[in-house]
């Protein structure tokens, strides 16, 4: 992938000049979940538009900036807003920030999203630890020349979300009295929501939640050797589960309702990562 190494070096250098520090943990904040970034102390916030080689986010509910600083005594960087495939970004752009995380020396990635509940035992407002995923986006960010600086041509994905980190996530939930679901996240391209027939299909193949993000970032993170922990906020029941139709407003309203619980959980997980090493 000609030029990627140079671009990453330039982006990293720009952020070093901004005194971004050396984060160990990166957090990608999904739709409506950006509030966690406000808990970061001594923050250095850099809007995506200022960062060399960064795309610009377009979706409502996404602030579009990187925030560097400390959370629970740990050095972190948070992405407030991500790049979606459905916005028209190619997979290289969608995952550029994850390549950057590796370049900056990040070890752990906490990836979050808003998702529809496919498992009928779920309720909107539930938080789900991602155990595994199914990629139905019709594309893979690792296609094309292998970026061998960061990882192998055929990366293993048999433990994309390591059990050790999921156990840490569960302990954080227990410690705060926040019940957690656990399940499989299916990624589709969007932007249309699914049909009821597609949701029956997703359930049949083992999905518990569905969304339009996360999997590209997790593929690249695994390629680059980052350890990933994923959390879905179930913002709505998927199409056909209930009689009502789906809309983005419901997604944002549920995210708004759970944002404190969600932020507390992620902060507790970050604290746990500090002692897990
Ligand atoms: N489907 C796909 N993506 C989503 C949904 C959904 O029901 N809810 C939030 N993101």
Question: Does 194 contact ligand 1 (Cβ within 6 A)?
Answer: yes
Query: Would the pLDDT of 59 be above 80?
Result: no
Facing residues of 112 across strands?
231
Tell me, what's the pLDDT at 61?
A: 47
Question: Does 55 contact ligand 1 (Cβ within 6 A)?
Answer: no
Q: What is the pLDDT of residues 174-188, one digit of tens each?
A: 999 999 999 999 999
The C-alpha atoms of residue 150 and residue 186 are separated, in whole angstroms, by: 25
Q: What is the pLDDT of residues 187-199, one digit of tens each?
A: 999 999 999 999 9
Q: List Cα–Cα distances, 9 to 83, 99, 148, 261, in angstroms.
A: 20, 11, 15, 37
**Is 133 assigned a catalytic role?**
no
**Is 223 assigned a catalytic role?**
no
What value does the mean pLDDT take over residues 1-5? 75
Among 14, 53, 70, 86, the active-site one is 86
Give the model's confidence band at 7: pLDDT under 50 very low, under 70 low, under 90 confident, else very high.
Answer: very high
Q: What is the pLDDT of residues 19-36, one digit of tens each?
A: 888 999 999 998 778 889
What value does the mean pLDDT take over residues 36-59? 87
What value does the mean pLDDT take over residues 197-225? 98
Give the model's confidence band at 57: pLDDT under 50 very low, under 70 low, under 90 confident, else very high.
Answer: low
Q: What is the pLDDT of residues 218-255, one digit of tens each?
A: 999 999 999 999 999 999 999 988 878 888 888 888 88
- Structural domains in the chain plus CATH codes: 3-276 (3.40.50.1580)
Q: List Cα–Cα distances, 100 to 15, 49, 68, 118, 204, in angstroms.
A: 10, 16, 13, 33, 36
Instruction: Round the average pLDDT of the chain to a whole number and report it.
Output: 93
User: Going by C-beta distance under 8 Å and a sequence separation of 6 or more, which residues neighbour residue 116?
Assistant: 193, 194, 199, 209, 210, 211, 234, 235, 236, 237, 238, 239, 246
What value does the mean pLDDT take over residues 258-263? 92
pTM over 0.85: yes
The C-alpha atoms of residue 224 and residue 172 are separated, in whole angstroms, by: 26
- The tokens 């070096």 sit on which residue? 9
- The tokens 């309702």 sit on which residue? 257
**Is 31 assigned a catalytic role?**
yes
What value does the mean pLDDT take over residues 95-111? 97
Tell me, what's the pLDDT at 187?
A: 98
Whole-number Å distance, alpha carbon 184 to ligand 1 midpoint, is 14
**Is 53 assigned a catalytic role?**
no
Question: Does 137 contact ligand 1 (Cβ within 6 A)?
Answer: no
């Amino acid at each position: 992938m000609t030029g990627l190494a140079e671009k990453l070096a330039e982006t990293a250098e720009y952020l070093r000049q901004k005194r971004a520090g050396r984060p160990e943990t990166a957090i990608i904040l999904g739709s409506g979940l950006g509030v966690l970034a406000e808990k970061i102390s001594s923050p250095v916030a850099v809007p995506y538009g200022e960062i060399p080689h960064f795309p610009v986010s377009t979706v409502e509910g996404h602030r579009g900036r990187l925030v560097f600083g400390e959370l629970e005594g740990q050095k972190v960087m948070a992405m407030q807003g991500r790049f979606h495939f459905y916005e028209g970004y190619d997979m290289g752009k969608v995952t550029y920030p994850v390549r950057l995380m590796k370049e900056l020396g990040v070890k752990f990635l906490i990836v979050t999203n808003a998702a529809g509940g496919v498992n009928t035992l779920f309720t909107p407002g539930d938080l789900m630890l991602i155990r595994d995923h199914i990629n139905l986006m019709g594309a893979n960010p690792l296609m094309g020349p292998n970026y061998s600086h960061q990882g192998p041509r055929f990366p293993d994905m048999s433990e994309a979300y390591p059990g050790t980190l999921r156990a840490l996530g569960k302990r954080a939930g227990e410690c705060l009295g926040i019940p957690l679901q656990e399940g499989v996240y299916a990624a589709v391209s969007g932007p249309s929501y699914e049909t009821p027939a597609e949701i029956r299909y997703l359930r049949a193949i083992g999905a518990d939640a569905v969304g339009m993000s996360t999997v590209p970032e997790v593929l690249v993170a695994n390629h680059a050797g980052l350890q990933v922990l994923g959390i879905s906020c179930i913002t709505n029941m998927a199409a056909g589960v209930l009689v009502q139709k789906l809309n983005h407003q419901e997604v944002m309203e549920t995210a708004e309702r759970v944002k404190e619980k969600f932020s507390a959980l992620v902060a507790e997980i970050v604290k746990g990562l500090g002692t897990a090493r």
